[in-house]
């Protein structure tokens, strides 16, 4: 992802460039692909680009937090990333709500 694309994504989403830079390469490459695949000609195209980028930004944010869950719980990031997206979201939200109770994630580690 070029600096120009990074700035454009941040502008479209209304987030900082740093929040995009922190994403892993898979997410950033997917964001770049959105620009390459969609020619913005009207408001409908703009909406489609925004929705695609926003979905990727949310997924990338979950991945960042999953790394924190992995550090705190000892569950490998590979295990956490292999879970379905809804489960990943639930784990991240639970972790953010109370990161002192990491023992409740032990069930994930045992499966």
Q: Residue 51: what pLDDT?
A: 93
- What confidence tens digit (pLDDT) does each residue in 44-85 have? 888 998 999 999 999 999 999 999 989 888 888 998 999 999
**Residue whose tokens read 């956490």:** 80
For tokens 């922190």, what's the residue? 22
Contact 79, 66 (CB under 8 A): no
At residue 102 the predicted structure's pLDDT band, cuts being 50, 70 and 90, is: low
Dihedral over alpha carbons 27, 30, 32, 33 (to 10 degrees): 180
For residues 32, 11, 60 and 6, what is the CA-based torsion angle, rounded to 10 degrees?
40
Model confidence, pTM:
0.77
User: Within 10 A of 44 (CB to CB), how many other CB atoms are there?
Assistant: 9
What's the confidence (pLDDT) of residue 54? 94
> Locate tokens 């959105």: which residue?
34
């Amino acid at each position: 992802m070029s600096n120009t694309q990074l700035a454009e994504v941040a502008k479209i989403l209304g987030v900082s460039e740093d929040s995009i830079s922190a994403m892993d390469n898979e997410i950033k490459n997917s964001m770049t692909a959105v620009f390459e695949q969609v020619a913005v000609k009207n408001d409908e195209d703009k909406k489609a680009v925004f929705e695609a980028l926003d979905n990727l930004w949310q997924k990338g944010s979950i991945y960042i937090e999953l790394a924190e869950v992995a550090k705190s719980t000892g569950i490998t990031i590979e295990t956490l990333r292999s879970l379905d997206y809804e489960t990943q979201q639930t784990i991240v939200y639970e972790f953010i709500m109370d990161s002192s109770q990491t023992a409740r994630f032990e069930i994930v580690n045992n499966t």
